[in-house]
Amino acid sequence: MNKKIGQILRTRIGEENYEKLLEIKNPKLHEFLAVFIELLNPSKVFVCDDSEEDVNFIREEAIRNGEEKRLALKGHTIHFDGYRDQARDKERTKFLVPKGTDLGPHIPSTDRDEGLKEIQDIMKGIMRGHTLYILFFCLGPANSGFSIPCVQLTDSSYVAHSESLLYRKGYSEFKRSGGKRFLKFVHSEGDLDDNKTSRNIDKRRIYIDLENEIVYSANMQYGGNTLGLKKLAMRLAINRASREGWLTEHMFLMCVHGPNGRKTYFTGAFPSLCGKTSTSMVPGETIVGDDISYLRKMKGEIRGVNVEKGMSGIIMGVNSKDDPLIWKVLNSPGEIIFSNVLVTDGKVYWTGKDGEPPKKGRNHSGEWAKGKNDNEGKEVPPSHPNARFTLDLKLLDNLDPELDNPEGVKVGGIIYGGRDSDTWVPVKESFGWEHGVVTIGASLESETTAATLGKTGVRKYNPMANLDFLSIPVGKYIQHHLDFSRSVKNPPKIFGVNYFLKDPKGEFLNEKTDKAVWLKWMELRSHGEVEALRTPTGLVPKYEDLRKLFREVLKKEYTKEEYSEQFKIRIPESLEKIGRITKIYKTEVKDTPAIVFKILEEQSKRLEDARKKFGDYVPPDSFL
């Protein structure tokens, strides 16, 4: 260790913590820590070496300092974020890039030199009176080709506790590898008010320095802005993956169990509130991860891992009927952090939970009673729509045994799903990799609901459900996907699903449980064991195959009338969609690969030809 750096660290962190750092032979790490300890100026420093004693110290710190409180069930705690600190702050989340760099209109950025000066001024001395926790983690399984070591600096024991549930321990990985090229996260909750929530929201910032792979976040506690290894690390990893030839995706990773004990792994990307977690948790299947996956080419095949080892899910609407596996965990003893739900006598309630809501309690707004309004006259719900639960996946009965396989799992299929009331069929398969990337992944949209914007049917473009997290231009990202299957002999099939198709009266055409059947069909298709009908927009199931699966999986009859209505090709709506997507790529994405327009034009021509032959709405059997 450099003598000057060693002196700073030994003086500021004490002998015991200093000895922990000496175990890691990485001068760049030591320099990074020294620079930021001096900048942040904490009153105390704690280095976590991942021992049970150290991890438990952080758990107890969260209780002692009031960032969490114990609940009635053993291991359960509650954390509240500030009333104005309940979601990702898109406006103040920016990439720091050299002057003149243009990432495109969808990716917010600012001048790197100016941004660094601003954030460092905000963070100078911000931890005075606080304890700085230094934590080491590993994204992906340890000692693996997927592994990315990370170091997190935070003065929030809630953030530190949450990450210990969500991410694999990394201190040993740093000792083993020296930390190689590690990602760096610097967070401070800033000054706290009497409720132990961040006071200076006007100085809230999330700045991402791609050059040095450092994420800064200040004056907030909400997990989406402060849990550095989640979507913030994802942005850094997308940038790194684009340079190194692999993929960082906003995807679950699950196993669908096929005939004769066969296991087939699928990834899936869905925008928020489109069925992502519920798909990964379908009863009878097993989960590897619910949120972020790394995909790499290994020995001629695509393999994937779950970046995390835990789950931080939206809790609104979780109930015993639709979510039996999560419901069981949330109502059993075990280490779980709830955030921004209603607490009454040590018990939690969230919107959509079984049973009647209590008439009073404490939530993210403080003391709450039914009918309470905030300062703007808006009624305060019992729990925030973005309220969460955070837990280790090991609590789930349906956890797949391959979670920590250092080689990952072979990906047999890739699923994209949006919220679409009138266009996509419930499940379809692309004609091939490029067709799937362009017409399904890069054409993904999600309709807004009245609950979110007060206006229904507004379609939001969201390629690969990853637009909010891209750190490279959209066109480059799509080209990277198109190139990824090269040198792979049999790339995974690409599927599109839609759980939100409606009839003319506005009623949903499918039950929530039907997704279990679509998964089984996709599993069979990934092995070529059932045939499909070739329509202008992709391959769809045959009726007899679905009828058999509905009987086997859900023990119910599936009628020909249901099939014909659900899987008919809606040509006017499909052409409108192609028009919308083409316009976006022509006007908003200046580096769109030419093949995108070629594939969309080909699909448009197939639809026009089908309309001349069959009319606007074509039953699937017309393509027999």
Positions annotated as catalytic residues are: 274
Residue 425 identity (one-letter amino acid): V
Q: How far apart are CA 516 and CA 569, in angstroms?
A: 22
3-state secondary structure string, 99-159? CCCCCCCCCCEEEHHHHHHHHHHHHCCCCCCCEEEEEEEEECCCCCCCCEEEEEEECCHHH
Residue-by-residue DSSP string for 266-294: EEEE--TTSSHHHHHT-TTSEEEESS-EE
Contacts of 526 (CB under 8 A, 6+ apart): 264, 412, 413, 492, 493
Spatial distance between the Cα atoms of 307 and 253, rounded to a whole number of angstroms: 10
Quick check: 420 and 449 in contact, CB under 8 A?
A: no
Cβ burial 117-144 (10 Å sphere, 16+ → b, else e): ebbeebbeebbeebbbbbbbbbbbbbeb
Buried b (16+ CB within 10 A) or exposed e, 2-20: eeebeebbbebbeeebbeb
Question: Residue 340 corresponds to which tokens in the numbers above?
Answer: 């921004």
For tokens 């300890």, what's the residue?
A: 37
Cα 330 to Cα 277: distance, rounded to the nearest angstrom: 15
| Residue located via tokens 């992906």 | 140
Q: What is the rounded distance in angstroms from the CA atom of residue 395 to the CA atom of residue 392? A: 6
